[in-house]
Amino acid sequence: MIRLARIAMTMTLGFMLTACGIFGSDDDPELGPITTAIGVNGYLWTATLDTLAFMPIDNAYPSSAAIITDWYSTADAPDERVKVAVYFRSEQLRSDGVKVNVVRQERKDGAWLTVPVQAATALQIEEAILSRARVLKIAADS
């Protein structure tokens, strides 16, 4: 629980740089993918891997348009673990180009039980990914 709060706080700080104007409109050719070979937007793909770098990755295949982490827990909260799935919805660099699902479990009597996750958690991860994608896009344009 403490680790999740720390992650949320860290991501909140990253959200200060809101990704508003950088994503543009649907018909802006500059916001296309870095490469069309992977089937998803390269900025969003790289930003997702950067954002989730502290977690073990279970599945990261561009052809499935998803990155799924393995279960992650910390030493200070060994009876709690989280798993994150990021789904890519567009080849364009858009604010609605990613969807994040978070599953949290707690160990009770030796069994892992799924417990609710605050709705803001998935949104905060999405915002962190979008903020990182914006930084990557700006760096590529420089």
- As a whole number of angstroms, the distance between CA 139 and CA 142 comes to 5
Phi/psi class of residue 53: alpha, beta or left (left: φ > 0; alpha: ψ in -120 to 50)? Answer: alpha
Query: What does the pLDDT look like over 28-44, one tens digit per residue?
Result: 445 454 544 567 889 99
pTM: 0.74
Q: Which of 103, 104, 97 is nearest to 127 (CA)?
A: 97
Tell whether the model's pLDDT for residue 22 goes beyond 90.
no
pLDDT single digits (tens) 89-106: 988 888 899 999 999 999
Annotated domain spans of the chain: 2-141
What's the whole-number average pLDDT of the chain? 81
Whole-number Å distance between alpha carbons of 115 and 82 = 10
Residue 141 phi/psi, 5° resolution? -80, -15
Distances from the Cα of 13 to the Cαs of 9, 59, 97, 114, 128, in angstroms?
Answer: 6, 27, 21, 28, 9
Distance, CA of 54 to CA of 128 (rounded, Å): 14
Most confident of 12-21, 68-77, 84-93: 68-77
